[in-house]
Amino acid sequence: MAAELNLILFGPPGAGKGTQAERLRGDFQLPFISTGEMLRANVRDQTELGLKAKEFMDAGDLVPDDLIVAMAGERLGQDDALDGFILDGFPRTVAQATALERKLASMGRRVTAALLIDVPDEEVIRRLSGRRVCVKAGHNYHVEFDPPKHDSVCDQDGSRLIQRDDDRPDVIANRLRVYHEKTKPLVDYYDSLGLMRRIDGTRDPADVHGHIRAVIATLRLEENV
């Protein structure tokens, strides 16, 4: 029987994490679990943890680590996550990472690998700043990779194409600065544990997917040695 695959996915905005997570979910039947999804589900279902979290959220405060880790423990104990999982957006800090490690250890489990889809800042800015969206129905284009037939006009409904504020280069640069500040300690932490695997995210999405599958195949071989 194959060992469970417990993966943590890292990568800057625009790295294609969502695309790769969807492909991995299809390949290995693993649930893709984000902090936002866990929080929303607990609040929606009015669980004890969700009610506590909602108090902090309603007050405009961050949900404390112990609550997030408790939610993660419950989510990872559900039937669909028993053979493994893909975590995105959690852990966000080294404190959360060590708490996750303790929680998994108490369940007789551990992180298999942390996958970093690595894309240089200039490539992220190129990918995100080139996005355009039509004002009428939200159809998406990219000035370089998927341009409209006529500049600034939607092919489908003829409405004007705009660049969203979030996609301005200065805004993206700020998002990247925050990402690096928050993610570097986690990358160093998982590196120190020998769990970090770097994936070249500048390649075609199919190539990135192939690289991730090769990394996972190697991990599985190592598990069975």
Q: Which of 17, 75, 126, 127 is catalytic?
A: 17
Q: Which of 54, 103, 175, 213 is catalytic?
A: 175
Q: Which of 25, 54, 92, 213 is catalytic?
A: 92
| DSSP state letter for 4 | P
Distances (CA, A) of 105 to 99, 100, 112, 132: 10, 8, 12, 45
Q: Which of 40, 110, 136, 164 is catalytic?
A: 164
Residue 15 burial (C-beta neighbours within 10 Å; 0-12, 13-18, 19+)? buried
Q: Which of 23, 52, 131, 132 is catalytic?
A: 131
CA-nearest of 12, 4, 33 to 21 is: 33
Asked about 17 being catalytic, the answer comes back as yes
Asked about 92 being catalytic, the answer comes back as yes
Asked about 175 being catalytic, the answer comes back as yes
Concatenated DSSP letters of 31-82: -EEEHHHHHHHHHHTT-HHHHHHHHHHHTTPPPPHHHHHHHHHHHHTSGGGT
- Catalytic positions, please? 17, 92, 131, 164, 175
